[in-house]
Structure 1
Amino acid sequence: MTADVADFGQYVAAHDIPPLDWTRDLSAALFRNWDDRAWFFKGNQCVCVKMGSDEVVTGPGYIEDLWTSLAQTIYADGFDAALSRMEEDAAFFFKGSRTARIFMGADKIDYKGSVGAIWPALAGTSMENGVDAAFARDYNDLAWFFKDDKCLCTYMGSGKVAHPIDTITQYWPHLEGTRFAQKIDAALLRGTGDAVWLFTGDLCVKLKMGSGEIMQGPSRIADEWASLARLSRLR
């Protein structure tokens, strides 16, 4: 199920999909490496953008239609965070204290359970019952999780803590004095690249992995992601 910007209005009417403002308050984001596509999620809807050209290639549509493995699960109505582990072609979805893993190519749930059981580094922390955003980097086997003004980093392979829970600015000091220091809505790492996009409210920022230096922004999502801005202007 796809729609481009030109026929977005007809698509919404045909599928009874209420239009959303995709330039603010995103729920989650994740990257799919083999086709260079970023998925954005908001409420019970999602949209797919081709990263290289910044063009909408799929959606907006309902999560349960575009990720059929999530239909009739708690994730169909939306979720709090998502991350992709590209070496496995897998995506994790988080909602409250629950998480599920999907093989993206087959769109099939592999396993699901409690966050604390599947991600032991989060057990006993405030993140065990919910996270706001997450992203993973296969290059060094690390996954970052964010909740309110806190973050934590874990090794994906062993499940051990890489960096214990602390303030966002402790690990990402260049975000000091910005809205990102208080809360991050979604995070997106493109492939094995050296940069991560963070989103909060109507703002986004691009950080360099390793040093944490700001590469781009903070700026409005509408200014940095033309594909999402075009959709939102048609609301």
Structure 2
Amino acid sequence: MSSTDQIYITAAFKSVRQNEVYIFMQNEYVLCDYAPGAVFSSLECTIFGELGITCAFASHDLGIAYIFSGNICAKWYYGLYSPNNKILEGPKLIVEMFPFLNGTVFANGIDAAFESSRPFEAYLFKGDQCARINYSANGQLINNAPIRQNWPCFKGTIFEHGIDACFASHNPHQAYVFKGDSYARIRFIPGVRFDVLISTGKIKDYWMGLQRILPRKSAIYYSNCN
């Protein structure tokens, strides 16, 4: 990726506070009501602080998220509005954190993910593929198929070919997905092939608070870490 490439949203997950979401643009983030700030201190001098977060999803354990950068991931306590954010596990290879992804397209990186409304399940996206996983202590790969097969509501849209970022809404069984300068809001039921495209459009028209900061330019990173 060149330094002139435009960056929109690379990862997102919902906050524990109603109608708030953390949105990442590589190594920058904003906290939106559906506040800009610096990189979380616990991510400094890690791959996530240097190269950015390319995918994330919130755990059903409050205050915890799984974050990804390339084929590396970590289980992260992001502090619940306190300075005590810290990495709980990792950074490590995706296949070390989630062994059941070994041999799948997700082993080398995940484009987007969001947690299901079913406890300790999440949806992963990579290219035109998607998966539903259980990420508990007895985790497993539940399903792996093309997006257009598992998410019929995306057929004929740009999202059937891939998703850049997404997050589960605080409204049950709803999620937001992003690709380039576009977004969609969907309704879904875990384990049932029933999904509805509620709305779609340009990020700038719906996410008014992001108008001033998107798109970003891909940065060249210099490490100050020993």
Residues 1:117 and 2:96 are matched in the alignment: yes
Which residue among 189, 203, 208 is the counterpart of 2:182? 203
Which residue among 35, 40, 43 is the counterpart of 2:23? 40
Distance in 1 between residues matched to 2:42 and 2:29, nearest whole Å: 14
Partner of 1:70: 43
Distance in 2 between residues matched to 1:191 and 1:87, nearest whole Å: 15
Partner of 1:142: 121
Q: 1:201-235: CA deviations, max 9, x gaps?
A: 11100110112111111x101111111124449x9
Q: Structure 2 length normalisation: TM-score?
A: 0.82
Q: 1:54-83: CA deviations, max 9, x gaps?
A: xxxx21x4xxx3311110001113122011
Q: 1:91-120: CA deviations, max 9, x gaps?
A: 111112110111122311101111112122
Distance in 2 between residues matched to 1:40 and 1:34, nearest whole Å: 14
Task: Kindly report which structure 2 residues correspond to 1:165-176, keeping only aligned pairs within 5 A, or say none.
Answer: 165-176=144-155
Distance in 1 between residues matched to 2:195 and 2:167, nearest whole Å: 14
Partner of 1:161: 141
Distance in 1 between residues matched to 2:16 and 2:60, nearest whole Å: 6
Residue 141 (structure 1) shift: 2.5
Q: 1:99-152: CA deviations, max 9, x gaps?
A: 011112231110111111212232111110101001113534311110000011
Identify if the C-alpha distance between structure 1 residues 220 and 49 changes in structure 2 by more than 3 Å, giving closer, same or farther: same
Is the CA contact (8 Å cut-off) linking 1:25 and 1:201 kept in structure 2?
Answer: yes
Distance in 2 between residues matched to 1:191 and 1:205, nearest whole Å: 15
Partner of 1:224: 206
Specify the SS of the correspondent of 1:227: helix
Distance in 2 between residues matched to 1:103 and 1:130, nearest whole Å: 21
Residue 193 (structure 1) shift: 1.9
Distance in 1 between residues matched to 2:202 and 2:30, nearest whole Å: 19
Partner of 2:71: 97
Distance in 1 between residues matched to 2:118 and 2:145, nearest whole Å: 23
Number of residue-to-residue matches in the alignment:
201
Is the CA contact (8 Å cut-off) linking 1:87 and 1:138 kept in structure 2?
Answer: no
Which residue among 85, 91, 107 is the counterpart of 2:85? 107
Which residue among 112, 126, 130 is the counterpart of 2:105? 126
Instruction: Name the one with the larger helix percent.
Output: 1
- The one-letter amino acid of 1:97's match is N
Is the CA contact (8 Å cut-off) linking 1:81 and 1:134 kept in structure 2?
Answer: yes
Distance in 2 between residues matched to 1:66 and 1:182, nearest whole Å: 31
